[in-house]
Each structure stands twice: as structure tokens, then as C-alpha cells.
Chain A
Amino acid sequence: MTWYAFLGALEQGCAYGLMVLGVYLTFRILDFPDLTVDGSLPLGAAVSAVAITAGIDPFVSLAIAMAAGFLAGMVTGVLNTKFRILHLLASILTMIALYSINIRVMGRPNMTLLGKGTILDPLYGAGLSPSVAAPLLFGGICLLAAGFLMWFLHTEFGLAMLATGDNKQMITSQGVNTHNVIIIGVGLSNALVALSGAMLCQSQGAADVNMGVGTIVAGLASVIVGETLIGDRSINRAIIAALLGSIIYRLAIALALGLKLGRFSFTPSDLNLITALLVVTALTAPKVRRRLRFR
């Protein structure tokens, strides 16, 4: 892997890191498998691209994208709690609806941002090269988001969220309205995912309605890889693990892209297989090592 590829993986790991934090929030804290993310990631990208094209400041476009993501998540939450639709199905319904909505938002399936201003411009202005600027800025935003989550999950509302995921009956008997907790929790998660999408479209030069395909898979893989390698003994540690998991997942893909093993060569179509194998290796390595140590 070259230096540029490494920085590129770092950049994507950070940009997707916010999505992974969102997935962590629903999947681990709320115990809510949320497929909305496959739709809310391109939603964030679409909203940000439209806003920037309309002349709105790129940083402000991030806030608008987050608001859109929050609403999308709330829809899933309301479908689940108020209409009593199974969480998995509720999120799939929102996801497929978002496909049409995203095309409506952009007016077309692919919207270019090439040549338009982005949140990276101030850093370029300061003389940083594009391949260094993006990982720095995205990494910074990730750390801010992680800090916010660490604080948030220790507030009274955050603790109610943790308890809702652990034992709904118990927390209901304590007088907490679990419906509101789920609606706001899924909303917050998708706000993070949409922010991730907005940053991605600014780094790759276009928003595309198909860019969300497989988001949930990448998100879950990142959360689990992070937990396995870094651990999840405390909330704070689990949040950092999720972020690092995202970076490791993207590094694995970058590694697979550059893989050349002497005379035996993988073909380009082996990429998905190699990525899967690398992730499986990351997942099983600690267990294998532990077993060897006990012997």
C-alpha cells in the first residue's frame, strides 16, 4: 500500500467513522438493527450537494444534512414505536422510500460537486495538500462527535437510552417513555450517518443515489472489528473502538486493492473476497492467540 492509499483509507475511515458511530448507537446501545442508514447516507450527501450548489456555505450544508438525517431516523422510530412495525421492517421501509426521495432531492440520480466549494477549502487555503487535509479535518470532526457521544451517553437521557436497549420493561416501570427515547435515538444515529454522507460527497466530488449500498454491512463490520481488536469494556472505550474499527475496515480494503503475492495474482474480481477474508482474520486473530496462550 502506498502512502497516498494509506491516507485515502484514513480519510475514508474517518468520513465513514461518523456512520459507524451512528450504527454503534442503534445496534449496540438501543439494540435496534437499523437499515435506514443505507438510505440516510446518500440523503446526507444529496442534501449537502444541493445546498452547496444553491450557494449555501459548505459547513452550513453539513448541519442541514444532519437535520435531514435526523428526520429520516425519526420516521423509522415512529413507524416502530407508534405504528408497532418490527424495527427491521420499519427501517427497510424508510430506506426504500429514501431511494425515491434522494432522487427527488437532487432532481437526478447523480449530482456533481466537482469544481464547487467544499469544507476542505479553508485547509487548502492554509497550504495543506488535499490528501493530508481531508484525513485531518474528517478526523477532527470524528473526535468531536465521539466526545459529544461520550458526554451524551452519560447524561440522564443517554442513560435512559442505555437502559432502553438493555431492558425495556424495567425502564418503562421507572417511568421513562421508551418511545421517545427510541425515536430520538434512531434520529440521532441517522443524523450522524447523514453527516458522514455529506462529508463523503464533498471528498469524492459527487453525490450518487447508489452510494449507500452496503453501508449497514460496512457499519456492522467496523463496529465488530473495533470491539474485537480494541475492546468494549466501557462506553468510552467502545466509542473509540468503533472509530478505529472504521479505519481498520477501510485499511483492509486498501490493502486488498494493492495486494500482489509474487507469481500468484488475484484478479480484480477477488476484491470482495479478499476484504471479507481480511476482516475475518482481524476478528479471529485475538481468539486464536488467546487459545495458544492458554495451552
Chain B
Amino acid sequence: MKKFAAALAIIAMTALPALAKGYTISFNQIVEHPALDALRKGVQDELAAQGFEVSYNIHVAQGNISTANLIARQILGENPDLVVSIATPTSQACAQVIKKIPIVFAAVSDPVGAGLVPSLEKPGGNITGTTDMSPVDRQVDLIREFLPGLKRLGVIYNSGEANSVSIVKALKQVCDQLGITLEEATIANSAGVYQAAKSLVGRSDAVYIPTDNTVVSAFEAITKVGYESKLPIFAADVDSVGRGAIAALAVDYYQMGRQTGEMAARVLKGADTAGMPVETLREFQIHLNPASAKKMGVEIAEAMLKRADKIVE
């Protein structure tokens, strides 16, 4: 038992309290990833712009759900003024444990399906936030501007990611209404992406890539298939345009962070989360990649070039 006592002593020694100045905010983020990091920075910039003096406790679960759960407990002990949880599993972990501190979540596609709020309009508890549900109807419209005769749309996603499953469900509805056949290719890890993309050649006129962490991490494999088979590829996040997608109409995660930061500011000023509806992003951005379009056999109209927020060289 002496060893165990020694272990406890080490734990006690490192339990140094963090010095707080002004407000304290704790982040529980599932994984480090350019979009999610941009979101976190957006929250911090917005609060700074509004003149809040905040000290931050930033925790990243390294993609591990049990660590996310442990972080929620850690935050309970830090007793911050506000918790910001980024992504679905981290938000669920926080919602389960933290009942008295307000929580603002971000980057959750389906807050109702995830059990975080009973309805988007009336959260009713200590938790509210922003949802990054893709505007799939507008995204499909964008693809149809490039390919007016679109009949078969392919989609690659990880059937194990809750967010992607909700997006594909919404996508299916949109396609049904427009008389487009949705061709699905599911994968379990990023090693399967290349094969999944190949499987869509010949049975789809274009491919839509949702904001799926597993698929997006291997985007270059999809670009390669697009080039080889002249298969147009469209993305739901702007970063993938730089990696070869023809175009994306998407949430700008930094802007989403600013909007989440606005909500956080209201809570810090005393607003009650229970009465604050879950917000969807107000503005979306269009990014274009003309060089990729050419290699995938798609022409970009002059009007589209003018509309784009950013053109990737």
C-alpha cells in the first residue's frame, strides 16, 4: 500500500489551482483539427472583441470518448463561468455531468438527435449553442448549377459518425424531392476512402463529400479518382476545395466560432440558456477550384466565378 500512498502524494502535489482573472471558460474539444481549432479561435476573438477578460482552460480529448468524459469531470472541478463543448460526443459528456454551469456547444449537426436539447427553439436547460448542420439543399443546388443534368449523386461517408448519418438522411430527402438518385458508399476508416470513391465511378454523375472527419482526412484519394475518371467532386467544407474539390458551399468554422462567442457573451452577461434558441449559421461561403474543375471535366460559368468568396489557384 506504500506505493499507492506515494502515488496519491504525487497527485496531491500537482493539484495546483489555476489563477483566474475576470471570467473563466473551459473548452472540451474532441480532437485538434483545422476547422475545430478555427472555431475555438473564433469564440476567443469574439469575446476579446467584446471586451471580455477571460482566462481559458483548453482540453482536447485526442479523439477518445472516455477522455472526453473525464474532461467533463475535470471541468466540474475547475468551476468555470461557462463551458464551451466542441462536437457531439464532448457535448454529450458535458451535458451528462455539468448541470449547474451554462454550456454552449458548437459543431453539433443534430442537437436534438444527440439528446442535448428537447427542441432547437426551446433548449430549456443549462445548455444551448450553434449547430453546423450542412445546408444540404443549397449545396445540392450549387452542384446542379455546375451539372444541370444531374441524375445520380454519389456520397461517401463513415456510417459510424453520427453527424454524417444525419447529413446523409437530409441529403436523401433533398435528392428524392429533386428526382436525383443517391448512390451511397460507406467506409469504416480512412484507408477505405480510395476504394469507396472508385466504387462510385460509373454509377454517379458527381460526388458529394459531407463534413465527415474520416472521409475528409483522406480527401486526396478522392481527388485522385476524380481526376482519373473525370468524376466531379464537391465538398461540404471549404478546406477540401484546396485539396481538390471543385467547389464547396459551407460553414466557415471561424465565423461559426464568432457566432458561438456572441452567444457565450450573452450568457456571461446574464442571459439564461434555457430561453436561448439553438442557432444555425447565418452566412455560408462559396470556394472554387477552377484547375480541379478542368481536370474533372466541368466548366465554370463566368457568373459563378464572380459569386465565389474565394478562388483557389
Instruction: Using CB atoms and an 8 Å cutoff, list the residues of chain A in contact with chain B.
Output: 1-9, 11-12, 16, 96, 99, 103, 108-110, 112-115, 130-131, 200, 203-206, 208-211, 213-214, 218, 229-230, 244, 248, 250-251, 253-255, 257-260, 268-269, 271-272, 282, 286
Contact = CB atoms under 8 A, between A and B. Distances in A.
A115 B116 CA distance: 9
Interface SS majority for chain A: helix
B59 A109 contact: no
A283 B11 CA distance: 17
Interface in B66-125: 66-67, 69-74, 76-78, 88-89, 92-93, 95-97, 99, 113-116
A2 B66 contact: no
Contacts of B97: 8, 130-131
Nearest to B61: A271
Contacts of A112: 92, 113-116
Given A255-B14, A257-B59, A4 B4 contact: no
Given A254-B74, A259-B14, A108 B66 contact: no
Contacts of B69: 8, 12, 200, 203-204
B7 interface: yes
A284 to B, nearest CB: 13
Given A6-B11, A108-B165, A114-B116, A253 B16 contact: no
Interface string B125-162: 00000000000000000000000000000000001111
A210 B87 CA distance: 14
Contacts of A230: 3-4
A99 B99 CA distance: 32
A105 B125 CA distance: 30
Nearest to A116: B115
A84 to B, nearest CB: 27
Given A114-B92, A114-B116, A204-B93, A271 B67 contact: yes
Contacts of A96: 188
Contacts of A8: 69-70, 72-74, 76, 97
Contacts of A209: 160
Contacts of A250: 70
Contacts of B113: 108, 112
Interface in B179-238: 188
B67 A253 contact: yes
A282 B7 CA distance: 9
6 contacts: A1-B74, A108-B113, A110-B88, A110-B89, A110-B92, A112-B113
Contacts of B64: 213-214
A109 B92 contact: no
